Amino acid sequence: MFEHERDKIYAVAKRNQCILGASLCLLLIVWIAASFAIKIFFDMYSLEKVLGSSLYTFLISDISQYAIALPLALIVMHFVPTLRVKQMPMKFKHFIGFFCVSIPIMFLGNIIGVVMSSAISGGGAEDRVSDLISSSDTLETFVFVVILAPLVEEFLFRKQLIDKLRIYGEKRAIVFSALAFALFHTNLFQFFYAFGLGLVFGYMYMRTSRLRYTIFLHMIINFQGSIVAMWLKKQLVDASGNMIDVEKMSRQELASLPTGFILAGIYGMFMIAMLIVGVVLLIRCRKYLVFFESPKELSKKDGIRTLYGNIGVIAFLAITVFMSVVSVLL
């Protein structure tokens, strides 16, 4: 590649990636502002009492983000060209493999998130997202967490970002989409496992260019982390709300355990098996990951400078990191 061609690609890449960073900033700022406005409107009519606390919170967040902020951000993103590539199918066994790999990533990421949040806050941090899910009913959780969130998040962070960034390098596109996905939660508890899952989703999308696979896996994971988790919690406590201790039970008491407790145990063993399989796959299959050179592939140094050295992305990173840290201190 001639030097003047490289310089032109560098300049265009920096401009386009700055626009993407600015669009993410716009999405975040409008989301926050619209949330305040909608909250004021809802409170004028005392809708929290009518809707219930959890539905009230879900509606404020999702209306402001999906119906107001996202369309504006997409208008800005439209100025960045999209690289069209051929769509490829994914075999069922490969999808199961990605699911298994996601289990240890979630497990380890969750531990790191809890430890980091506790360290920064001095042990006083609360995971407000988990609290919200715990207080909502099953239908609300299914609609807002299992269905809507994966649909919108995969469309934004995989399809929009990766399709517009992959032309300058596949690996950087995957990493940035995962980083943006994790930071956009502005929740340190969720950051590490969201980043890890973002890498998995990003690679799946990069190799297939089909959103259906990442959406479905995202839905499965959210279903496990919300509805299944709430169900498990109910099965493992007695009528007094205390954890069931099988070690202190007689044979007769063990034989009379409810079916839900037994099913919870079976599910736990299944997840342990998936955890082990996932760890093995992470260790053995890393070398089989495939990346192709992009049409306007930038060198590692130039790629990092154009992606993380523009004002749009810098502003997005600064705002989201600040909000993530503040969220565990308040």
Mean pLDDT of 229-254: 72
Averaged pLDDT for residues 294-315 = 95
User: Looking at the DSSP assignment, which residues form a beta bridge with residue 243?
Assistant: 237
- The two tokens of residue 41 are 């409107």
Spans of all domains in the chain? 3-329
Give the other-Cβ count within 10 Å of 48's Cβ. Answer: 15
> Residue 4 above 80 pLDDT?
no
Counting runs of H as helices and runs of E as strands, what totals does the chain give? 17, 0
Burial class of 18 by CB neighbour count within 10 A (0 to 12, 13 to 18, 19+): buried
Q: What is the pTM of this model?
A: 0.94
Contact 175, 200 (CB under 8 A): no
What is the per-residue pLDDT for 233?
82
pLDDT of 261 over the 90 cut: no
- Mean pLDDT throughout 147-151? 98
What does the pLDDT read at residue 236?
A: 75
Listed in order, strand segments (DSSP E) in the chain are none
Residues facing 237 on adjacent strands: 243
- Each as own residue / partner, the long-range contacts of residues 36-45 (CB below 8 Å, 24 or more positions apart, any chain) are 37/64, 38/63, 38/64
DSSP at 76: H
CA 301 to CA 30: how far, in whole Å? 33
Q: Report the mean per-residue pLDDT for the chain.
A: 92
Backbone angles phi, psi at 285, to 5 degrees: -100, 0
Phi then psi dihedrals of residue 237, to 5 deg: -120, 155
The tokens of 299 are what?
A: 């060198």
Average pLDDT over residues 188-204: 97
pLDDT of residue 250: 65
Mention every residue, 6+ apart, whose C-beta is less than 8 A from residue 15. Answer: 310
**What confidence tier does 253 reach under pLDDT thresholds 50, 70, 90?**
low
In this predicted structure, the answer to whether residue 280 has a pLDDT above a threshold of 60 is yes
Q: Is the pLDDT of residue 256 over 80?
A: no
Helices (H), 45-69: 47-51, 53-62
Residue 86: phi and psi, rounded to 5, are -70, 135
Q: If you average pLDDT over residues 127-156, what whole number do you get?
A: 93
Q: How confident is the model at residue 254 (pLDDT cuts 50, 70, 90)?
A: low
288 has a pLDDT exceeding 80 = yes
- Is the pLDDT reported for residue 123 higher than 90? no
Q: What is the residue type of 321?
A: V
Q: How many degrees, rounded to 5, is the angle at CA 81 between CA 76 and CA 87?
A: 120
| Structure confidence at residue 45 (pLDDT) | 94
Predicted local confidence at residue 226, as pLDDT: 93
C-alpha to C-alpha distance for 193 and 287, rounded to whole angstroms? 22
Dist CA 94 CA 88 (whole Å): 13
pLDDT of residue 246: 63
Q: Write down the pLDDT at residue 247.
A: 66
pLDDT higher than 80, residue 265? yes
Residue-wise pLDDT for 53-104, tens only, equals 999 999 999 999 999 999 999 999 999 999 989 999 999 999 999 999 999 9
pLDDT single digits (tens) 206-219: 999 999 999 999 99
pLDDT, position 264: 85
Segment 156-165 shows an average pLDDT of: 98
